[in-house]
Amino acid sequence: MTLDLRRLRHLLALAEHGSFGRAAAALRMTQPALSRSIKLLEEQIGAALFERSVTGVTPTDEGRLLVQRAGELVRAADELDREVLRRRVAGVGQLVVGAGPYPGETIVPVALARFVAAHPLVRVRILIAGDWDDLLRRLRARELDLVVAETSTLGGEHDLEIERLTPHPVYFVARRDHPLAHRSVVRAEDTFAYPFLGLSRFPPRALRPMLAMRPEPGARRRGRPFPALELTSLAAVKRVLANSDAIAPLTLPCVAEEVGRGTLVLLMTEPWLSTAYGLVRLKGHAPSAAATNFSECLRDAEGALVREESRLVARHSHRGAAASARRRRRS
């Protein structure tokens, strides 16, 4: 029995999207054509692969087994295509990079701009996710060539090659009219009175000291969930901050423009509040030329970010000290 790779791709899309309509749209084909393809695949297998209902479709036991095997086959075929293309035409291929929100908002766009200028024939996909465990799963499944994300939890992962990048201080940020913005001194425990907004999942190294400062809730009042909100879009985080009393931990380059205009303010930082991201690759798998070149672009972008951050810290730390002095004189 010979299975059509194209139909296996249809199978994977249907399993991922859970409906013929959404899967057909993602595949850029008509729904009847997708239905015929799945029906022919079921006839070839000799079993129903999906259970149909008014809410969508779910794989049967046979379907789940085939989805797992089909994923392995499709990934292997895609990797073979990329390798053949790389060998046939220099500078041609595909690069898929996973990134956490902090590097995804800072060094990745800068590196990408430089990379595409030097490698116009390479197709690049960037997947930004707030959960680094999902990025690692995709890396191990060979869906990603490279990950740039949180590395503090990866000490025992012996199948990974980790290159840690420079830590960056993280500040608690709020709108300029936030109640805490008028205090001369803001402590970490003060922030628990307001909704906390995470740009990514909190790593244990930062979560433990933060929660240790959390005040005990009163008998009649339950503690506020922490964090109250989780988003992976920096633009969305900024909109929430500007229109609420929420507080978010962000690096200075992420909000330099807004802090410079005075629409957002830096409330405080702590020694344990910093980024810990790095470049992560699979051991024993030689990176493609595109992945190697993009990694170099990331290192250059990181160096530029460190220099820019030093200037920003000097500028805004001076402003913050002056503002604190004015608040103390008014009080």
The enclosing domain of 12 has a CATH number of 1.10.10.10
| Cα–Cα distance, 232 to 284 (Å, whole number) | 31
Could you tell me if residue 153 is inside a domain?
yes
- Check pLDDT > 50 for residue 219: no
- Check pLDDT > 90 for residue 50: yes
Give per-residue pLDDT as tens, 107-132.
Answer: 999 999 999 999 888 889 999 887 77
Give the mean model confidence (pLDDT) for residues 24-41.
92
Could you tell me if residue 32 is inside a domain?
yes
Q: 10 Å Cβ neighbour count for 315?
A: 14
Could you tell me if residue 227 is inside a domain?
yes
List of residues 6+ apart from 54 with CB closer than 8 A: none
Backbone angles phi, psi at 184, to 5 degrees: -70, -30
Residue 64 is predicted with a pLDDT of: 92
Could you tell me if residue 317 is inside a domain?
no
- Check pLDDT > 70 for residue 324: no
Residues 104 and 236 both lie in one domain: no
Could you tell me if residue 261 is inside a domain?
yes
Give the mean model confidence (pLDDT) for residues 178-198.
90
| Cα–Cα distance, 103 to 109 (Å, whole number) | 9
Sign of CA dihedral 289, 295, 301, 303: negative
User: What is the span of the domain harbouring residue 10?
Assistant: 5-83
| Cα–Cα distance, 246 to 240 (Å, whole number) | 7
Residue 218 is predicted with a pLDDT of: 53
Residue 91 is predicted with a pLDDT of: 52
Could you tell me if residue 130 is inside a domain?
yes
Per-residue pLDDT band at 33 (split at 50, 70, 90): very high
Average pLDDT of the residues of the chain: 85
Residue 327 is predicted with a pLDDT of: 39
Per-residue pLDDT band at 287 (split at 50, 70, 90): confident
Cis ω before 227 (30° cut-off from 0): yes
Per-residue pLDDT band at 1 (split at 50, 70, 90): low
- Surface-to-core class of residue 235, CB atoms within 10 Å of its CB (0-12 exposed, 13-18 middle, 19+ buried): exposed
* Residues of the chain above pLDDT 90, percent: 51
Give the mean model confidence (pLDDT) for residues 144-173.
91
- Check pLDDT > 70 for residue 319: no
> What total of structural domains would you count in the chain?
3
Residue 84 is predicted with a pLDDT of: 64
Burial 133-148, CB ≥16 within 10 A → b, else e: eebbebbeeebbbbbb
Per-residue pLDDT band at 229 (split at 50, 70, 90): confident
Residues 155 and 285 both lie in one domain: yes
Give the mean model confidence (pLDDT) for residues 66-93.
71
User: Looking at 83, 109, 126, which one is the last position of a domain?
Assistant: 83
Lowest mean pLDDT among 49-63, 203-217, 312-326: 312-326
Lowest mean pLDDT among 169-173, 227-231, 246-250, 324-328: 324-328
User: Looking at 31, 64, 83, which one is the last position of a domain?
Assistant: 83
Residues 179 and 264 both lie in one domain: yes
Could you tell me if residue 51 is inside a domain?
yes
List of residues 6+ apart from 245 with CB closer than 8 A: 174, 175, 178, 179, 194, 195
- Check pLDDT > 90 for residue 303: yes
Residues 196 and 263 both lie in one domain: yes
